[in-house]
Amino acid sequence: MKLKKTIAAALASLLLLSACGSTPAEEPASSETTSAEAVENTQPETKPEEKPDVEETIELYIPCYYNYVVPLLPDNTFAALEDYGASNFKKNADASANCTIPKSGIDKYIADSVSNYNKFVQSQESYPIKELILEDDYKKATFQGDPSDADFYNYAASDALVPYLLSTMVYGPDSTIELSAPNAEDSTKLNTISYPPESFPMNSIIGVNLGDVDVLIASAQTETNYAGEPCLSVEYILVNNSTENKNFETCIMDQAFQNGVELDSSIISLDDDFDTSFKDVQPGYSITVKQSYVLPNTTDPVTVEVEGFLSSSNNKGSKTFTLGE
C-alpha cells in the first residue's frame, strides 16, 4: 500500500513539474494577421481531377475458316460481333481479319455462343454430347455427355472446333486449348488432350481476300464423272464481304493444273447439284461450292488457283493437292 502511494506521488510530481516547466502562453497575434490567415484557411481545397474508367479492349483474330467451321456460330461474323461492341475491322490478304472489342463484349459473345451450342445439343435427343464447359479464360474446354455412346468421342472431336475457334479469336492462330471428356470406363474421370492435333485440318485451308468476297480452298477428293472419267473435286467456300448479293460463278476465276497444263472442268453427275456456283449469297454469309476437273492421271499432284473476276484486288490463292493420299 505504501509502494502504491509512493508511485502515485511520484507520478503527480512529474505531472506537476511538467506543468510548471511549460512555456508561457504567447501573446495573441494581431487582428490583421489573424484575419489574413482566416481568409487563407477558408479557400476551397482543390480536389484531383477524377479520370473516367476506361474499359479494357482487346484485339480479336478472326481466322479465314470462321464461316466454314460451325453453323452454331453466327454466319454474319462482322455484324454479329458489332452487336457486342466490335469495331475497327481489318481484312487480311489470307481472308483472316482483326478487330477491337471491349473485354466485356467478347466475354458476353463467347458466353452466348457456348449457351447457343448447349441449347442445340440438348435439343437433339440422339446427340451424345449434352454440355460444353469453357473456362480458365477460354483455355480449357470440357464436353459432358454419355461416353458409353459409340459416337461420343467422334462428336467431341468434331465439335472441339467450337471452343477452339472461340479461344483462337482471343489468343491468335497459334493458340491451344486443354480438351477434356469423360473416360469411357469411369465417367467420373476425364481424358485430357492438348488441342488442336498436329494434323489439324483447318491449317490446310487456304484463304484469299478478293475485296468483295473471300474464297477458301478447303479440300479435294478424286471421283468419277458421269462419263466415267477420273476427276478431282475441289471444295471452295465463298464468303460475301460486300453489301450486295454475290455468287461464285460471276466473282471467281478458278483453274486447276497438272504437270503445268490446265485441266478441263467437269461435273460428277447429271443429277448432281452442280449449279451451286450460280447461287447468290447475301452479304455476310457463305456458301460451299464444289468444282470438278478431269484428271489425265491419278498420280501426279494438282494445283488449283483462284482469283477475282473483274475484281479490284490483285490477290491470288493457290493450293496443291497430292493425289492418292
Domain range summary for the chain, segments of one domain joined by +: 57-200, 205-321
Q: What pLDDT shows up at residue 6?
A: 35
pLDDT value of position 8: 33
Which alpha helices (H) appear in the chain, and where do they start and end? 2-20, 31-41, 66-69, 77-82, 103-123, 152-159, 161-171, 248-251
CA distance 71 to 73: 5
CA distances to 147, 182, 221, 255 from 307, in Å: 45, 46, 22, 9
pLDDT tens string, the chain, 325 residues long: the values are 433 333 333 333 322 333 344 444 444 555 455 555 555 555 566 666 666 667 789 999 999 887 666 555 544 566 788 889 999 999 899 999 999 999 999 999 999 989 989 998 999 989 999 999 999 999 999 999 988 898 999 999 889 999 999 999 999 999 999 999 998 888 778 889 999 988 887 888 999 999 889 999 999 999 999 889 999 999 999 988 888 999 999 999 999 999 999 999 998 876 665 578 899 999 888 889 999 999 999 999 999 999 998 777 788 999 999 997 6
Question: CA 177, CA 110: separation in Å to the nearest integer?
Answer: 15
The span from the CA of 15 to the CA of 183, in Å, is 82
Q: Which three cell numbers stand for residue 184?
A: 469411357
Displacement of CA 105 from its chain's centroid (Å): 12
State whether the Cα torsion 47-52-54-55 is positive or negative: positive
Produce one character per residue of 10-25: b if its CB has 16 or more CB atoms within 10 Å, e if not.
Answer: eeeeeeeeeeeeeeee
For the record, the C-alpha cell of 258 comes out as 497438272
Largest CA distance in the chain: 128
Among 298, 292, 297, 300, residue whose Cα is nearest residue 273:
292
Task: Give this prediction's pTM.
Answer: 0.72
SS3 at position 253? strand
**Strand 252-258 versus strand 302-308 pairing type:** antiparallel
- pLDDT at 321 (0 to 100): 95
DSSP states of 66-117: HHHH-TTS-SSHHHHHHTTT-EEEEE-TTS-EEEEEEHHHHHHHHHHHHHHH
| DSSP H or E stretch at residue 195 | strand 190-195
Compute the distance between CA of residue 77 and CA of residue 64 in angstroms, rounded to an integer: 11
In degrees, to the nearest 5, what angle opens at C-alpha 265 toward C-alphas 249 and 319? 80
Contact by Cβ (8 Å): 164, 174: no
What pLDDT score does 7 carry? 31
Instruction: Give domain 205-321's CATH architecture.
Output: Sandwich (2.60)
Tell me the C-alpha distance between 185 and 129, whole Å.
Answer: 17
